[in-house]
């Protein structure tokens, strides 16, 4: 029994310095006034506006629209092929089509603009006879998540289609329309390229 007590006492004496080294000195410690801590938690969302990849063409009167061309559906790009020639009298006829963008988002106030390279469908042929249409004008309509919806005559200058003072996400559609006229159609291709841009509003 004595040997056991001696061994225990020796163990306590040896272990005491190590225990004391890891124990705070509570008598000299200082403390705040309460047990409440306040902590700031922060995160940042980067600005973005994007067209989704789930896009498709919508054929209307005398128009075929596809996601072919440029970057295709993955970039929100496509091609409008409009039949502008009236088979009865070879004048310009009404034609239309739409490009549907099913997932569009901008996480900040934004502006949507559109700009044309030629200001209309431009013929590759030329003539001095005013009876022919060398440039066929057309109108555009862009709607997004309940915004927009007004027809605008396409222009080589950038036109504002939508100004939003808040972030929005939803479906969008770009519609294009040519109007019938008495002008005759020239032989060969008519072409134009338009750029639709959704950009964050810079304040």
Per residue in 93-148, pLDDT (tens digit) is 999 999 999 999 999 999 999 999 999 999 999 999 999 999 999 999 999 999 99
Q: Where are the beta strands (DSSP E) in the chain?
A: 49-51, 55-59, 63-66, 79-82, 95-106, 110-116, 121-123, 132-133, 135-136, 138-144, 147-148, 152-153, 159-164, 168-178, 184-185, 190-191, 194-200
CB 139 within 8 A of CB 176: yes
Per residue in 32-74, pLDDT (tens digit) is 778 888 999 999 999 999 999 999 999 999 999 999 999 999 9
Res. 3: pLDDT tops 70: no
Nearest partner of 92 among 184, 171, 202, judged by Cα: 184
Determine how many CB atoms are found less than 10 A away from the CB of residue 57.
20
Burial class (CB in 10 A: 0-12, 13-18, 19+), 183: middle
CB 112 within 8 A of CB 198: yes
Res. 10: pLDDT tops 50: no
CB 193 within 8 A of CB 115: no
Instruction: Give residue 22's pLDDT band: very low, low, confident or very high (50, 70, 90).
Output: low
Q: Which of 23-27, 81-85, 148-152, 165-169 has the lowest mean pLDDT?
A: 23-27
CATH of 50-200, one of 2.60.40, 1.10.260, 2.60.120, 1.10.1060: 2.60.120
pLDDT of 191: 98
The domains of the chain are located at 50-200
pLDDT of 21: 58
Q: Which two tokens stand for residue 107?
A: 């996480």
Count, in order, helices (H) and strands (E) of the chain: 1, 17
């Amino acid at each position: 029994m004595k040997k056991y007590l001696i061994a225990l006492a020796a163990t306590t004496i040896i272990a005491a310095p190590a225990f004391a080294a890891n124990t705070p000195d509570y008598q000299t410690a200082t403390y705040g006034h309460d047990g409440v801590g306040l902590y700031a938690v922060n995160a940042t969302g980067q600005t973005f506006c994007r067209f989704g990849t789930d896009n498709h063409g919508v054929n209307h009167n005398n128009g075929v629209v596809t996601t072919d061309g440029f970057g295709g559906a993955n970039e929100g790009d496509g091609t409008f092929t409009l039949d502008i020639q009236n088979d009865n009298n070879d004048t310009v006829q009404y034609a239309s089509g739409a490009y549907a963008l099913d997932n569009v988002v901008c996480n900040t106030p934004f502006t949507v603009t559109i700009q044309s390279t030629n200001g209309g469908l431009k013929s590759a042929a030329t003539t001095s006879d005013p009876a022919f249409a060398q440039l066929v004008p057309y109108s555009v309509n862009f709607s997004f998540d309940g915004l927009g919806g007004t027809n605008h005559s396409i222009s080589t200058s950038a036109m504002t289609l939508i100004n939003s003072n808040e972030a929005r996400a939803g479906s969008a559609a770009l519609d294009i329309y040519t109007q019938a006229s008495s002008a005759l159609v020239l032989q060969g291709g008519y072409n134009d390229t338009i750029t639709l841009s959704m950009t964050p509003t810079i304040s």
